Amino acid sequence: MKAVIHNISIECIQGDIANQPNMDAVVNAANAQLRMGGGVAGAIHRTAGPGLEEESRRQAPIKPGQAVITGGHRLPNSYVIHCLGPVYGQDEPSDKLLADCYRNALRLAEEYQLKSVAFPAISTGVFGYPVEAAAKVALKSILDELTNLSSLGHIRFVLFRTEDLQIYNSVLKKLTE
């Protein structure tokens, strides 16, 4: 599903965040140390190569809700924006910290004058955030930020699982109709 609001297109697709050519930046569901890890961080670091960890660890550790930016190394993207999502039930208030991730990532995208950015479903893997609740926070915080964006024209959510894509699509539909 795709919605266009304030001239910015927001779409949800199923795929691999490490294989998103034609996007200026991809967002990493990072760990505090900005190291390789599993899930999204594993896929991104594997494709980007060791140069990404070398560059990113200089900005570590980061706190829940924070976002930092590095180059994309061997990824097909110029930049990686690393966000540390909250661990559900541990880092509180988890909804505010998750919203901070999306807001801070978009602010960095704006600062770097990026035209397109792809997000994974931050915190919904190992960090245990329920997918529908995470989708509402993610999409609401992005919709609230749209009027502050001037360079960005394309925001993409890349979901790994079919069920997650369906949930993101229905939340996007509800929030935009």
**Contact positions vs ligand ADP (CB under 6 A):** 16-18, 29, 39-41, 43, 85, 120-127, 158, 160-161, 164
To the nearest whole angstrom, how small is the minimum distance from the Cβ of residue 112 to ligand ADP?
Answer: 22
To the nearest whole angstrom, how small is the minimum distance from the Cβ of residue 35 to ligand ADP?
Answer: 12
Residue 5 vs 133, nearer CB to ligand ADP: 133
Residue 12 vs 108, nearer CB to ligand ADP: 12
Q: In this structure, are strands 67-71 and 8-14 parallel, antiparallel, or unpaired?
A: unpaired
Per the omega criterion (within 30 degrees of 0), is the bond before 93 cis? yes
Residue 5 vs 13, nearer CB to ligand ADP: 13
Residue 88 vs 112, nearer CB to ligand ADP: 88
To the nearest whole angstrom, how small is the minimum distance from the Cβ of residue 83 to ligand ADP?
Answer: 8
- Please say whether the beta carbons of 45 and 36 come within 8 A: yes
Structure-block tokens of residue 86: 């909250």
To the nearest whole angstrom, how small is the minimum distance from the Cβ of residue 121 to ligand ADP?
Answer: 4
Closest by CA to 125, choosing from 24, 25, 44, 9, is 44
Compute the Cα dihedral for 101, 5, 168, 109 and give only its sign. negative
Q: Can you say whether residue 58 is alpha, beta or left, with left for phi > 0 and alpha for psi between -120 and 50 degrees?
A: alpha
